Amino acid sequence: MTDGTLATDLAAPAPAGRSLFALAMRRLLRNRAAVAGAVVLALITLFCVAGPWLSPHPYDRVYRSYVAVPPSLERYPEASALAGAMAGALERARLAMDDFSVDGDGFRVTLRSDRPIDPRNTRYIERLDEFADPRVVETLDDGRTLVVEGRVNRQLFLMGTDRSGRDLMTRIMVGGRISLLVGLLATFVSLLIGVAYGAIAGFAGGRIDNLMMRFVDVLYSLPFVFFVILLVVYFGRDFVLIFVAIGAVEWLDMARIVRGQTLALKRREFVQAAEALGVGTGGILRRHIVPNLLGPVVVFVTLMVPKIILLESFLSFLGLGVQAPLTSWGVLISEGAANIQSAPYLIIFPSIFFVATLFALNFIGDGLRDALDPRDR
Amino acid sequence: MLSYTLRRLLSAIPTLFVIVTVAFFLVRFAPGGPFDLEQPLAPQVLDNLRRAYSLDQPLHLQYLDYLGKLVRGDFGPSYVAIDFTVGEMLRRALPYSVTLGLSALALAIFGGVAAGVFAALRQNSAADYSVMTVATVGVTVPNFVVAPVLQLVFGLMLGLLPIGGWGDGGIAHRLMPTVALALPQMAVIARLTRSSMIEALRADHIRTLRASGLPGHVIIRHALKGALLPVISYLGPAAAALVTGSVVIEKIFAIPGIGAYFVEGALNRDYTLVMGTVVTLAGFVVVFNLLVDLAYAALDPRVRYD
């Protein structure tokens, strides 16, 4: 018998070990709402992150010809609007229009004037979003009549355009990037502060703990949102400032949860063993306390991201969030609310993405809590 | 109990003090001021203005002066709305905000508790699931989405209610803002009530009541007493959330309340107006938290008064 077969013989009968992580994973995967939430969140994230690269429209491109057009599966421009658009362009160029025709993706128009026409007048046609690549194919009557051919520029606005003529779908993608990013970064800031503060308070115990937690209590009863608003108003609507301010406000819950867990962990045998072996406070915190806090912290983080996205949207809704032309879901919803009568789709589409994301994160958070903390069920 | 009340009262004072101080210095250290107009004022005019509002004094004197006046209930003059004191503006705005806030709070409590009890009594039935699904929607969807949707459906499509303004303060004008403001808190309270009611219904003393053959409504009343404690302790955060939410709701429904003044003052850098609104709103939250704590201590004998 060789060493190799011995090894496989020994390995085969050994039951597949189920770590705590594997068990939690199994429970999580059985929770259909959480799995659905994870799938939806992954899809929305993919949509927002990859979408702007694939979208034919830049998020800040203004299409003057398509201001507040409703969502449509058909490509713009509408066939009936083409002749009018061309007539408008030529009027601005002070030219008369003869027989305008559209053939598939191309158009053909005859221009007429009393004086010879400067071929550069095609710029007036090109400037419209409906038409592209106009070129003079025939010059008649000593230049008083031009035949111009070109392409009809067909654009797809699946979710319509906003009041400035920007593609709503691309703006939702870019706004989603900002909202998700602020959610993650601000959560990270509050995670750092909250875990450090809570772990130190819980581990130190006694008077220090008392003092630190009283401080949290005092901060807790302050209506912090107002201070965030003041910060943002007076020190500029800086993107970095927004998430630092939000994160600095939202660490209180985290500190409380972490402190409670630390108090419980501190009395466990392995911590006492480490103490008996002479491991320092910092070492115990790093090696034993913080890793064991991961479960509740992960749960709390998933529930905190939607809260922060909500807060950012709240600020943006009041006009205190990110600045144009950049956007976030809160800005889009606010713009939609202002135009609810004339263009209800402007609020419907951003709200769908926003609410779906919040739902997904909440379901994932609830699922994680159930999976990681079986006592709670 | 009396000493607990006094101590709790005293502990509210430093909180208010911190709020006033932070707000004061935050506003003063910010770049720009109320007289930074698009067309710069002549230096002489600016000097006179600054002297008139004693902005030329050293900062600590301004601060002490402000504190002294605040204690006497004087919020100072508004820098932007000339001829008005902040006190006058707040007094004019307060009735709208208080009416809106209190009716939303009442709706949130009664609606939430009723829905929670209803769901708890039919645990795991279709009715329970549907109530809880609606509650999850209410928790998740923020009121700045709910409010425009309500306006769209009831104001524009059905034409049943006015889409904004306060009118004569009648129920028609108040209904949508109140519902939009109350909905998220109502949903939270419903979820809280449901879970604590389910727990209360399993308690030993309720089982005894049931075994003694008491009628259903008596049992519910007894269970509810215990189940309401978590709801009461949630009222503090709920009030803070309502105050915050009112800023948005007042903006959406064009109600001239304190929240609207706050945003306006912040954008115009109207120092005293911002201070006045922050202090008023924060004071309201602090006082409400105090009341909740006292009520909780009175209702739950397990709370220690030391």
**pLDDT tens-digit map of A22-38:** 777 777 777 777 888 88
Contacts with A32 from chain B: Cβ below 8 Å: none
Contacts with A231 from chain B: Cβ below 8 Å: 26
Q: Does B146 touch chain A (CB under 8 A)?
A: no
What is the distance, to the nearest Å, from the Cα of residue B297 to the centroid of all Cα atoms in its chain? 22
Contact (Cβ atoms closer than 8 angstroms) between residue B279 and residue B67: no
What is the distance, to the nearest Å, from the Cα of residue A144 to the centroid of all Cα atoms in its chain? 54
pLDDT at A376: 43
**Cα A107 to Cα A135: distance, rounded to the nearest angstrom:** 11
User: Could you tell me how many CB contacts below 8 A there are between chain A and chain B?
Assistant: 101
Point out the residues of chain B with pLDDT beneath 70.
Answer: 1, 30-34, 36-38, 169, 303-306
pLDDT at A11: 47
pLDDT at A7 over 70: no
Identify the burial level of A375 via C-beta atoms within 10 angstroms of its C-beta, where 0-12 means exposed, 13-18 middle and 19 or more buried: exposed
pLDDT band at A259 (very low <50, low <70, confident <90, very high): confident
Query: Are residues B26 and A362, on separate chains, in Cβ contact within 8 Å?
Result: no
pLDDT at B10: 80
Query: Are residues B282 and A226, on separate chains, in Cβ contact within 8 Å?
Result: yes
Nearest Cα of chain B lies from the Cα of A341 at a distance, in angstroms, of: 7
Q: Calculate the dihedral angle through the C-alpha atoms of A251, A255, A257, A258, rounding to the nearest 10 degrees.
A: 120
pLDDT band at A237 (very low <50, low <70, confident <90, very high): low
Residue from A82, A76, A66, A68 nearest A125 by CA? A82
pLDDT at B111: 92
pLDDT at A92 over 70: yes
Q: For residue B285, give the nearest of A221, A235, A330 by CB distance.
A: A221
- For A53, A187, B35, B88, the CA distances from B80, given in Å and listed in that order, are 46, 37, 8, 14
As a whole number, mean pLDDT of residues A199-227 equals 76
Q: For residue A313, give the nearest of B142, B266, B285 by CB distance.
A: B142
Backbone angles phi, psi at A106, to 5 degrees: -110, 160
Nearest Cα of chain A lies from the Cα of B216 at a distance, in angstroms, of: 27
As a whole number, mean pLDDT of residues A182-196 equals 84
Residue from A162, A1, A135, A204 nearest A68 by CA? A162
pLDDT at A17: 61
Contacts with B269 from chain A: Cβ below 8 Å: 233-234
As a whole number, mean pLDDT of residues A88-110 equals 74
* ipTM exceeding the 0.95 mark: no
Q: For residue B140, give the nearest of A221, A319, A355 by CB distance.
A: A355
**What residue of A is the nearest CA neighbor of B28?**
A234
The label of the residue with tokens 């709670």 reads: A376
Q: How many CB atoms lie within 10 A of CB A103?
A: 9
Nearest Cα of chain B lies from the Cα of A98 at a distance, in angstroms, of: 45
Q: For residue B27, give the nearest of A218, A221, A230 by CB distance.
A: A230
**Cα B160 to Cα B182: distance, rounded to the nearest angstrom:** 20
pLDDT at A377: 38
Backbone angles phi, psi at A210, to 5 degrees: -55, -45
Backbone angles phi, psi at A107, to 5 degrees: -130, 160
What is the edge-to-edge ordering of all strands in the sheet holding A96-103? A96-103, A106-112, A145-152, A131-140
Angle between helices A290-317 and A251-266 (to 10 degrees): 170
Scored b (16 or more CB within 10 A) or e, A74-102 reads eebbeeeebeebbeebbeebebebeebee
Contact (Cβ atoms closer than 8 angstroms) between residue B189 and residue B107: no
**Joined tokens for residue B169:** 């303060």
Contact (Cβ atoms closer than 8 angstroms) between residue B263 and residue B247: yes
Query: Are residues A334 and B144, on separate chains, in Cβ contact within 8 Å?
Result: yes
Q: What percent of chain A has pLDDT over 90?
A: 0
Contacts with A233 from chain B: Cβ below 8 Å: 30, 266-267, 269
pLDDT band at A321 (very low <50, low <70, confident <90, very high): confident
Query: Are residues A318 and B252, on separate chains, in Cβ contact within 8 Å?
Result: no
pLDDT at A55 over 80: no
* pLDDT tens by residue, B115-156: 988 888 887 788 888 888 888 888 878 888 888 888 888 877
Residue type (1 letter), A171: R
| DSSP conformation class of A161 | B
Full DSSP string of B158-211: S--S-SS--TTS-HHHHHHHHHHHHHHHHHHHHHHHHHHHHHHHTSHHHHHHHH
Nearest Cα of chain B lies from the Cα of A34 at a distance, in angstroms, of: 14
pLDDT at A20: 65
Which residues does residue A111 pair with via DSSP β-bridges, in sequence order? A97, A146
Considering chain A, what is the average pLDDT of its residues?
76
